[in-house]
C-alpha cells in the first residue's frame, strides 16, 4: 500500500511540475510567439510611459504589428539568405531601404490618419506625426527589427556551420583512428606469425604454448581493442604475453628485462598504444639473433602519469641498420599519429638513437582531465 501511495504522489507531482524550458525552446512557433509578445509589451510600455497613455500605445503597436512581422519574416527567409549570406551587400541594403521606407510610409500616411487617429488616439495624435522627421524616426525604429532578425539568421547560420564542421572533423578523426587501428592488427599479426613459423621450423616444444598465447592476444585485439579505452592492466597483460612469445622464440640468445612499478588500478589507456614500441624493439633490435642481444622494458605509473621506456641494443651493423629503419616503420608512425589524435598535449615522446643503443621514452597523462582537453 505504501508503494502505491508513493507512486500516486509522484504522478501528482509530475502532473503539477513546470514544463522544461529546453522543451519550450525546441518548438519554433512558440519561440516566435513569445518574441512578438515580449516586443509588443516592451514597446507598448515604453511608448505608453512617454505619452502617458498605455491603451493607445498598445493599440498602435498591435495595429502596426502585422506589417512589421511581414517585413521581418520576408527579411529572414528571403533577403538575408538570397543577398546577405551570398555577400550581395549593396542589393541587400537597397531592398531594405525600399521596404522599410514603404512600411514607414504606410504606417505614417495611411494607418495613422485613417485608422489609428480616428479610432484609438484622437486626442494625442497631431500633425507633428506626419512630418519628415517622424517618417525618418519610424524607419529607424523599423530597422531595429530588421537588424535583430538579420542577426538571428546570421547567428543560426554560423552555429549550423560550426556544428557541421565539428561533425565533419569528428567523423574524419574517427575514420582516421579506425584506419590506424586497422593497420596495427595485421602489422602485429604478421610479426607474431613469423615468430610462430620460426618455432615450427625448429620443431620447438614451445609452439603449442605460443599458439595458446597468440589466441589470447587475438582475443584482446578482436574484442577489447575496439573500445576507446581499456584498463591499463589489460594493456600491460597484453604486453607480458607478447614478451613471453618473444622469450619462447629467442630463448637464451636474448636477455629480456620487463619491470613494472606503481599502482595501475583505475587507470585506462587507448588500446594497442604501448605495444608498437615493444614490438619494434624486438623486430628491429634483436631479430638478427646475434649473441649478447638485449631488450629493456620499464613501465612506471605515478598517480595518473605513465612512463614507458624501451631500449634495445644495436649488436651488429645489420641490427644498427634495422634500428634506423625503425623510425620510418609503419608501427612507429602509426602510434605517433594515434598519440597526436588521442592525447594531443597530454604526452611527450623522446627517441634516442645512440651508436650502441636505441631507446624510446614515452610519458603519458592518463587522467580524465587530459581526455577532456
Q: For residue range 177-190, list pLDDT tens digits in order.
A: 565 555 555 656 67
350 pLDDT tier (thresholds 50, 70, 90): very high
With 50 as the cut, is the pLDDT of residue 192 above it?
A: yes
Residue 98 vs residues 65, 87, 95, 291: alpha-carbon distances, Å: 19, 19, 5, 91
Provide the grid cell at 74.
Answer: 520576408
Q: What is the pLDDT of residue 295?
A: 92
| pTM, rounded to two decimals | 0.51
Q: What is the pLDDT of residue 258?
A: 94
With 50 as the cut, is the pLDDT of residue 6 above it?
A: no
Encode pLDDT of 206-256 as tens digits: 778 778 877 777 777 777 777 788 899 988 988 888 888 788 777 778 889
In order of start, what are the domains of the chain with their CATH numbers?
2-165 (no CATH), 204-372 (3.30.565.10)
Strand, helix or coil at 363?
Answer: strand
With 50 as the cut, is the pLDDT of residue 340 above it?
A: yes
Q: What is the pLDDT of residue 348?
A: 93
328 pLDDT tier (thresholds 50, 70, 90): very low
Better-scored residue on pLDDT, 236 or 149: 236
Q: What is the pLDDT of residue 160?
A: 79
Provide the grid cell at 64.
Answer: 502596426
Give 206's contacts (C-beta < 8 A, 6+ positions apart): 199, 248
With 80 as the cut, is the pLDDT of residue 191 above it?
A: no
> What is the mean predicted confidence (pLDDT) over 256-274?
88
User: Among 319, 327, 318, which residue's Cα sits nearest to residue 360?
Assistant: 327
With 60 as the cut, is the pLDDT of residue 79 above it?
A: yes
Amino acid at each position: 500500500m505504501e508503494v502505491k501511495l508513493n507512486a500516486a504522489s509522484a504522478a501528482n507531482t509530475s502532473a503539477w511540475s513546470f514544463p522544461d524550458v529546453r522543451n519550450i525552446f525546441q518548438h519554433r512557433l512558440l519561440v516566435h510567439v513569445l518574441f512578438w509578445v515580449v516586443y509588443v509589451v516592451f514597446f507598448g510600455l515604453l511608448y505608453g510611459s512617454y505619452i502617458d497613455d498605455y491603451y493607445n500605445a498598445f493599440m498602435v503597436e498591435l495595429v502596426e504589428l502585422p506589417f512589421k512581422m511581414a517585413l521581418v519574416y520576408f527579411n529572414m527567409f528571403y533577403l538575408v539568405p538570397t543577398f546577405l549570406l551570398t555577400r550581395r551587400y549593396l542589393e541587400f541594403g537597397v531592398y531594405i531601404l525600399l521596404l522599410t521606407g514603404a512600411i514607414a510610409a504606410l504606417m505614417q500616411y495611411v494607418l495613422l490618419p485613417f485608422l489609428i487617429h480616428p479610432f484609438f488616439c484622437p486626442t494625442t495624435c497631431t500633425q507633428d506625426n506626419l512630418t519628415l522627421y517622424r517618417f525618418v524616426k519610424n524607419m529607424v525604429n523599423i530597422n531595429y527589427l530588421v537588424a535583430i532578425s538579420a542577426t538571428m539568421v546570421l547567428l543560426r547560420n554560423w552555429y549550423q556551420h560550426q556544428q557541421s564542421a565539428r561533425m565533419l572533423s569528428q567523423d574524419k578523426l574517427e575514420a582516421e583512428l579506425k584506419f590506424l587501428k586497422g593497420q596495427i592488427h595485421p602489422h602485429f599479426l604478421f610479426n607474431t606469425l613469423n615468430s610462430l613459423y620460426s618455432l615450427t621450423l625448429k620443431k620447438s616444444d614451445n609452439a603449442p604454448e605460443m599458439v595458446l598465447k597468440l589466441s589470447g592476444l587475438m582475443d584482446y585485439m578482436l574484442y577489447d581493442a575496439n573500445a576507446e579505452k581499456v584498463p591499463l592492466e589489460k594493456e600491460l597483460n597484453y604486453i607480458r604475453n607478447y614478451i613471453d612469445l618473444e622469450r619462447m622464440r629467442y630463448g637464451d640468445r636474448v636477455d629480456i628485462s620487463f619491470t613494472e612499478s606503481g599502482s595501475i588500478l583505475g587507470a585506462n589507456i587507448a588500446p594497442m598504444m604501448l605495444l608498437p614500441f615493444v614490438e619494434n624493439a624486438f623486430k628491429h633490435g634483436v631479430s638478427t639473433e646475434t649473441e649478447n642481444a638485449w631488450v629493456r622494458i620499464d613501465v612506471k605509473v605515478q598517480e595518473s602519469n605513465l612512463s614507458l621506456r624501451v631500449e634495445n641494443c644495436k649488436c651488429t651493423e645489420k641490427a644498427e641498420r634495422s634500428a634506423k629503419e625503425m623510425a620510418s616503420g609503419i608501427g612507429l608512425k602509426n602510434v605517433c599519429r594515434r598519440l597526436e589524435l588521442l592525447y594531443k598535449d597530454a604526452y611527450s615522446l623522446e627517441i634516442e638513437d645512440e651508436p650502441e643503443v636505441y631507446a624510446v621514452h614515452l610519458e603519458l597523462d592518463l587522467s580524465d582531465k587530459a581526455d577532456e582537453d
